Every structure is written in structure tokens, then in C-alpha cells.
Amino acid sequence: MVNFVEITILGSGASLLSPDRVLAGLMIETANKPLIFDLGAGVLHRLSCSQPDLTAIEHVFISHFHVDHCSDVPALMQSMWLMGYENHLNIYGPKQIENAFKGITLIFPYLIPKLPLKLHVIKPGFQVKNEDWNVTAFPVDHGDMETYGFLIEADGKRVVYSGDTRPCAETIKHAKGADLLIHECSLPDRMKELAPNHTTPGELGALAAQAEVKTLVITHLYPELLKELGEALSSIRRSFSGKVIVPRDTQIITI
């Protein structure tokens, strides 16, 4: 029985692969319910280690429709079906979710009738509320790609997941004073021009300091950043004095 908030980093890697990090995904458990955020390649396997009973999952939030954040969705659906899924699966995502599921229906027509599924289109201000937890979606800045970050409130705690984004005011606003900020930190400061729609360590340190978060978890880590991890952490530390976690996949953080 989980009676606090547990965050499992399922995938902390990025599309240039690291052998021990799969693509984007995390699970937040509260009141014994797993909420899934992003499902990139490899996340389903990590999930099977961390939450073997996939049939307990009822809510999957997709931050945006870059492949590294959603490609395991049909694979999850197939595993749930074979495990005798009887719940109602809610999948939340930006408008592109409608086309994504038209595509899944065309390519895997056998799959859609196999489990009760409800799609929810996320727009700015989108919220899901119930007695145990609230999730608020907020738009972030990932270039031309419609992308949302998420504020999860449960058991008196506040957790923010950035999705993919360059530093943006909406993230600072929603993360203000948060217990935990899980933020992408893709490439070293020196490579900023290669990834203008992502966040570098120096930028992230400044953002975390401005938001006054208690703990920062860095994710969406490219191999170049991991090779220069010491420098990246120093760069974050120049502005941010709170706790910084560089997670391994399947690491559990309890707050």
C-alpha cells in the first residue's frame, strides 16, 4: 500500500542512445494508483520491472508526439489485453492524439476493440481531478511541437514534469516551490545551438533557482551530457543550491 508519493524514473535517456537508459517515461504512484507520464521505447520493459501488474494502470499522459515519448503506447495496449485488462484506460495527450489513434487503428485494427479506451485531448488549463490526486497540464516551449508539462498534486506534495522544452515561464510558474521538479536536461551548455528547443544545465540551474524547487531531477540525458556530467552538475550548481538527482532507470524517489 503506497500512502505517500513515489516517483519511479522509468526512462531517463534520449534518442541518441545510452546502453543503460531507455527513452522518456516515469511513473507516479499515490493512493496505490500508478500514473504514467510518457512511454518512449523501452519504457514498457522498465514498467514491467517496476509495476508488473500492468492491469492496475488507468491513466497515461503523453507530453507530446515525438517518437521518443510515445512509441511504446501500442505495445502497452497489447500487453494489457493479454493480461486480461478490465479497467478503463484513459490516455491524455495534445491534439495529435486523435491522429495517433487513427494510425494505430489502421495499422493494428485487432488491438483497439480489445480494451476499453478513452482518449482525452489536452489543451492549456487541462486538469484531471479526483479525491486522491490532481494533474494539471501546462503548455511548454518545444518549438513547433505542441507539448505539455504536468503538475501532479497528491498527498500534500507537488511534483512537476517538464516534458521536452526550452526554459519557459509556464514551467517556473507551475513549479514554484515544488517538492520535486523532473526536468529535461538534454545537452551540455556548449551545444545549445544544436538543440534550441531543449534545456541545458546552466539554463536549468537558473530555472530551478527561480522556481525555488526543493529537489531537481534531471532527465532526457544525451550521451554527450553524460560524458560531461561533472561539468553539467557544476553548471547547475552555479545557480541552484537545492538537491540534484541524476537518476538511473527504475530509481524510486519517495517524497
Q: Which residues bind Zn ion (CB under 5 A)?
A: 66, 68, 164
24 vs 207 by CB, closer to Zn ion: 24
State in angstroms the smallest separation of the CB of 93 from Zn ion. 13
Task: For the CB of residue 91, give the shortest distance to Zn ion in the complex, in Å.
Answer: 18
By C-beta, is 66 or 158 nearer to Zn ion? 66
**Cβ-based nearer residue to Zn ion, 29 or 68:** 68
Find, among 166, 220, 222, 169, the residue nearest to 193 by Cα: 166
Shortest CB 142 distance to Zn ion, Å? 6
Q: Which is nearer to Zn ion, 131 or 144 (CB)?
A: 144
Pick from 115, 117, 107: which is nearest to 85 by CA? 115
- Least Cβ distance, residue 255 to Zn ion (angstroms): 24
Output 8 or 199, the one with its CB closest to Zn ion. 199
Smallest distance from the beta carbon of 11 to Zn ion, in angstroms?
Answer: 10
- Report the residue number, 5 or 195, with the smaller CB distance to Zn ion: 195
Angle between helices 97-107 and 73-82 (to 10 degrees): 60
Least CB distance from residue 4 to Zn ion, whole Å? 29
